[in-house]
Amino acid sequence: MASLAKGWDIQKRVIKALMIRELTTRFGRENIGFLWIMVEPLLFAGLIALLWRVTKGPFEFGVDIVAFVISGYIPMVLFRSTINRAVSAFTANGSLMYHRQVKVLDLIIVRFIIEFIGHMMAYFFICSTLLALGLFPSPHDLGFVILGWLYFSLFTFSIAVIVAPLSEMSEVIEKIIPVTNYMMIPLSGAFFLVGSLSPALANAALYSPPVHAMEMMRLGIFGPGISPQFEFFYPLAFALPCIALGLMLCRRVRRTLVIE
């Protein structure tokens, strides 16, 4: 147990040091620094919500359209940003591999944690602000909101763990990532409710793990009136094998990674 506790303490220090390095490298020490990672999704989500409000009116699928767009768009931006950061993560930080305590998985974890914290802050900041202005409903069940967020984030991390080593194995991965991000628009469930789809489309949509997470979030925000449809453990059953595959790929890449 003593060796396990010591190893965990070292791991925490490594993650903390890598996070400080990553934040300093990306945002510097001037202006608002790390808070920039929160500003980007806020701006994007705000503009998209405003566009939908102007073009579609105040309601969509029977709920407030601003709340609907905000609740779906920011998690989708989390996926896009995390996957983009996972590409070439090892090459960009290859010099850190000289340190025995630093593992390739640490590089993915650090980038994911930064994106997760930033987008989670943006999500709850804009939701709280809109709630105070009367433009966002009081959550029906905050537990489902958090659970949906965690499931969506776990799915995002599971894909990042696979993308990062694959991008080191083949340059093709880097080329197709933008396409993958566009595919997440229909696959994420960010802009529709499963209950509003035809039975055939609803069954097809429920094959996508993030749709289940999104439906959980929408249930937590809008309540059962939206007729949410999800399998409680489906995202977990998808993410865990993906993470296991990603860990095997990371181990393989570490053997061939050239440290400059």
In a domain, 5, yes or no: no
Residue 96 pLDDT more than 70? no
* Residue 168 pLDDT class (50, 70, 90 cuts): confident
* Residue 29 pLDDT class (50, 70, 90 cuts): low
Q: Which position has the higher pLDDT, 30 or 146? A: 146
Residue 259 pLDDT more than 60? no
Q: Which position has the higher pLDDT, 28 or 155? A: 155
Q: What is the pLDDT of residue 220?
A: 94
Residue 16 pLDDT more than 80? yes
Looking at the structure of the chain, the number of domains it has is 1
In a domain, 146, yes or no: yes
In a domain, 6, yes or no: no
In a domain, 3, yes or no: no
Distance of CA 226 to the CA centre of its chain: 24
Q: Which residues constitute the domain of residue 202?
A: 12-256
When the pLDDT of each residue in the chain is averaged and rounded to a whole number, the result is: 86
In a domain, 7, yes or no: no
* Residue 100 pLDDT class (50, 70, 90 cuts): low
**Exposure of 246 by Cβ count < 10 A (0-12 exposed, 13-18 middle, 19+ buried)?**
buried
Q: Which position has the higher pLDDT, 3 or 171? A: 171
In a domain, 204, yes or no: yes
Q: What is the pLDDT of residue 206?
A: 95
Query: Across residues 187-192, what is the average pLDDT?
Result: 90
Non-local CB neighbours of 151 within 8 Å, separated by 6+ positions = 209, 210, 212, 213, 216, 235, 236, 239
Structure tokens of 229? 């449809």
Distance of CA 137 to the CA centre of its chain: 23
Q: Which position has the higher pLDDT, 61 or 219? A: 219
